[in-house]
Structure 1
């Protein structure tokens, strides 16, 4: 007789788990609070649909915070394995110039989602929509819509973190877990914009300006990439990747200092020589035409440097390489791409089973891990789903 599996949530971790469970051993039902599956998956796809990252597995694992928690799952199902698997369901991929992995041209997010849902259909997976999980009964049956109790052999929670409430990933499950004495940590924004107290005249002139081919550092981490000046502050992949370091500084100091390197390919000495040898009389002309800084970058230097520092070649070169910018807070949870917090990692075993609720598992962004954008978030969710599928398939 087949054992029953209830999967609560309809995101990437849940879907690949449902797709890979042994249909000969399990009767699988996915319970989704919305009217459709994969809403956050589709929304994320609108901003550049990178499915994973192609870098070597050791480097990829190091992108996660903490790296050890996901190491086994990522080794069991790495970025190459994911590309091969998704290729078997009709989604061909390519590696872009950024080393991110994308579906081939013309393949939209909905196409990828439908390919996965087609696997679920062939596997005989049942999908129940508009089923909102509202807790457990005394014998650990799961309750939906406050009045429907389902008792399964295995229950897997994959309900997301606390960001993008419009997609259903609203973190409302947090208090229900807390009531059961499952260790949890409050959600915090990650991969989000960070507040910088720009002046109104600076915003008027530079709001929306990109900062390209830069590097930003905080504490012991440096990230190359791009950022955008916004009314709120700074956002973009170069600062998203520093979320763990910025959060740490905000928690301990109530502010965070990041350092902007406007010319990562040049040393301070190189810059100094260019400035000194320039034939342009005005410093701003030298910066624009000799150093190739954008108007926004020059605007930043003028905002943060005194006139004396700005006109001093040595100090100017140093600040082009390491301009100090103060961050005062992160964006709200609902404006973040992802969140940390949720279920503490020590609350689950190596197969993501809750230690104080046997046969109940948690995967995906519900757990307190972090990763930058660029395919890492999706890769982790897919790897966790695959890891748990293999574990359950191996049970007698």
Structure 2
């Protein structure tokens, strides 16, 4: 079935795709958003389960630095649609925002569903149509888009196309990364997709794993190479994850890919002076158990004590045989050997994607005139904290504006 049209095709109904659709509709374009899933914004809704961290309130220069090597490529798009613009956009949809104690920005509703519902209503009022359960399978010989739909194969010929298919994390929500082969066949250079903001595997002992699986290490400081991150880490059955781990995940991932392992050091009492710990650990233990002594003398939680015991076993030593000095040093630098990266399907986001060399300043693919790309498909990564959604929204805006220029239209102010 062929469906020639004057519309612009957006492929992917996540934040980047829907934002591109909004910009294009505001500019007067006829827009259809295609998505393989039965409903829009599934990964966006999943992000909202933790409170929907939309963006961050830190000064823009520091904000932009979070994108590391990709910063020069994302700078113009984020400056054109900065964090305050995203907050204003949310509030125009009836979802007021606030800045949390960490500087992160959230909707007051603290979830994604009210924002997504209001957004879809506005897009509908602007004439944007959703074509759900439409899985894009590439282009035919005439350069038309091909889709598999419940009604059978569909071919459409839009005036322009915006690709916003996401990365490869949480594939059950729609971002499965299968677009890689399609674009590679067109000669588009793609950096390998890798887990970002992911957990890592550790060969825990059965005793430690069974007792502490799912428990958090709170208020710790994690160090790898020259990088230190304060926060929380969670022990999983197969390893370790959590906010502080995610912040170091890029460096840890690259080390494991290069060397096959990485050694993470965990300070269990980062605010305590080592000398003070030594003094407290030198006190008489009396009749109390060693674990109870550690709990009182060093203010350690059961999981922190368990991690000390796990580290001592790994090194072939008894925790009770350590001197107060060695014990204090261990508390401030417990070594955990990471031996692998958690699967990309469980990662929060994805590193790698379409090389920025393949895009012009309007986010159009140089090899495919009239085809634009946005969001997590592109070769960038960022820590959690609002940076992921901000770049997805901002590149969606940039691709939408680029497509409007391609159509010869002037975007609305």
Of 340, 347, 368, which residue of structure 2 is paired with 1:357?
A: 368
Other structure's SS at 2:46 match? helix
Other structure's SS at 2:146 match? strand
1:371–1:377 Cα contact (<8 Å) kept: yes
Q: Does 1:380 align with 2:391?
A: yes
Q: How does 1:138-287 map to 2 (within 5 A)?
A: 138-145=141-148, 147-276=153-282, 278=283, 280-281=285-286, 284-287=291-294
Partner of 2:73: 69
2:98–2:105 Cα contact (<8 Å) kept: yes
Whole-Å Cα distance in 2 between the matches of residues 21 and 364 of structure 1? 16
Other structure's SS at 1:46 match? helix
Spell out, residue by residue over 1:191-211, the C-alpha distance to the aligned partner (whole angstroms, 9 max, x if none). Answer: 222100001011122222210
Change in CA separation of 1:57 and 1:287 when aligned onto 2, cut-off 3 Å: farther
Q: Does 1:93 align with 2:97?
A: yes
Q: Does 1:45 align with 2:48?
A: yes
Spell out, residue by residue over 1:323-342, the C-alpha distance to the aligned partner (whole angstroms, 9 max, x if none). Answer: 21111111112222212222
Change in CA separation of 1:97 and 1:280 when aligned onto 2, cut-off 3 Å: farther
Partner of 1:125: 128
Other structure's SS at 2:265 match? strand
TM-score relative to the length of structure 1: 0.92
Whole-Å Cα distance in 2 between the matches of residues 87 and 339 of structure 1? 29
1:22–1:393 Cα contact (<8 Å) kept: no
The 10-residue stretch of structure 1 (233-242 or 16-25) with the greater mean CA deviation from structure 2:
16-25
1:134 is displaced (CA, Å) by 0.8
TM-score relative to the length of structure 2: 0.89
Change in CA separation of 1:273 and 1:346 when aligned onto 2, cut-off 3 Å: farther
Whole-Å Cα distance in 1 between the matches of residues 281 and 86 of structure 2? 48
Change in CA separation of 1:111 and 1:205 when aligned onto 2, cut-off 3 Å: same
Whole-Å Cα distance in 2 between the matches of residues 27 and 377 of structure 1? 28
Structure 1 unaligned regions, length at least 5:
none
Other structure's SS at 1:192 match? coil
1:260 is displaced (CA, Å) by 0.8
Partner of 2:18: 15
Change in CA separation of 1:89 and 1:213 when aligned onto 2, cut-off 3 Å: same
Change in CA separation of 1:114 and 1:213 when aligned onto 2, cut-off 3 Å: same
Spell out, residue by residue over 1:18-45, the C-alpha distance to the aligned partner (whole angstroms, 9 max, x if none). Answer: 1122545311111111221101111222
Structure 2 unaligned regions, length at least 5:
409-413
Spell out, residue by residue over 1:30-78, the C-alpha distance to the aligned partner (whole angstroms, 9 max, x if none). Answer: 1111221101111222233222222222222222242333222222222
